[in-house]
Amino acid sequence: MKSAIAVILLLLPIQAVAETKEQNLVRTPTTYKECIQRASDINSKWIEYRDEVNKCRAKFDVAGEY
């Protein structure tokens, strides 16, 4: 019984961290840096990342294109 409680208590912080990371991916970025970080976090393919970066540049009026 004590070991089961210990396992539950150890897993709760892990779940909280996972939920926090998930919420960060869902919320809308408010700065260019946040937008770029989000693009990096959610895209595994370079072409998808490039498209997201270009959207960030357009949204935050940053000159140039990736």
Query: What gap in Å lies between CA 56 and CA 40, rounded to an integer?
Result: 12
How does pLDDT run across 28-42, given as a tens digit for each residue?
889 999 999 999 998
Largest CA distance in the chain: 61
Taking residue 43's Cβ as centre, other Cβ atoms within 10 Å add up to: 15
Which has the closest alpha carbon to 38: 21, 25, 51, 23? 25
- Can you give the pLDDT at residue 8? 61
- Can you give the pLDDT at residue 45? 92
- Can you give the pLDDT at residue 12? 58
The low-confidence residues of the chain, meaning pLDDT below 70, are 1-2, 4-26
Place of tokens 């809308």: 28
- Can you give the pLDDT at residue 66? 78
Residue ranges covered by each domain of the chain: 2-59
